[in-house]
Amino acid sequence: MPRRSRDRVSNKGTVSKALGGARKAIAKVPGPSTNAATNLLIADIAMRASSRLFRKTMEKGLLRLKFPAEQAHDIVEGKTMGHTLMTAAVARIATRSVPGALAVAGVLFGKAVIDRSMGRRKSSRRGMRRLNKQAENAD
């Protein structure tokens, strides 16, 4: 095995120099607008739109494991505004702080325990009824 030299040259400033150069290069790239606030707004809308498309694709993909493609589409599209707002609020609580994440995880764990204690058939029927009702709302 080769011996390591204890007299290494410090690379401490190399990373800082590289990051500084990258920041300068990025600063020279113009955004769609000359206004930084407008560029931030455009980026925010693009990220939220792509996030929503990704979420819908994932939901449909998961539902297609148990349902035909058309029914999976109807279930995803049949969500009520209340359901959408509630899940957004819970997600915001979970991502804002560690206590919020623990609280949401605890509630979800409790829900899973309740579903399992109910029995597989009864729990499955309840879930199917809810998803079928949601699919009916797609119209």
Residue 92 within a domain: yes
Give the predicted TM-score (pTM) of the model. 0.59
One domain, residues 59 and 73 = no
Task: Report which of 88, 85, 75 is spatially closest to residue 137, judged by C-alpha positions.
Answer: 75
Q: Is residue 85 part of a domain?
A: yes
Strands (E), the chain: none
Task: With beta carbons less than 8 A apart as the criterion, state whether 134 and 79 touch.
Answer: yes
Least trusted range by pLDDT, from 4-8, 19-23, 63-67:
4-8
Q: Are 39 and 32 in contact (CB under 8 A)?
A: yes
Q: Are 82 and 52 found together in one domain?
A: no
pLDDT tens for each residue of 14-47: 777 777 777 777 777 777 887 888 888 999 999 9
Q: What is the DSSP letter of 139?
A: -
Co-location of 73 and 139 in the same domain: yes
Within a domain: residue 9? Answer: no
Q: Are residues 53 and 72 in the same domain?
A: no
Q: How far apart are the C-alpha atoms of 46 and 87, rounded to whole Å?
A: 21
pLDDT single digits (tens) 102-133 = 999 999 999 899 888 888 888 888 888 888 88
Q: What angle do CA 35, 33, 42 make, to 5 degrees?
A: 90
Are 77 and 122 part of one and the same domain? yes
| Domains of the chain: total | 2
- Does 76 lie in the same domain as 139? yes
- Burial annotation 103-120 (CB, 10 A radius, 16+ → b, else e): ebeeeeeeeeeeeeeeee
130 located within any domain: yes
Range of the domain at 81: 68-139
Is residue 5 in a domain?
no
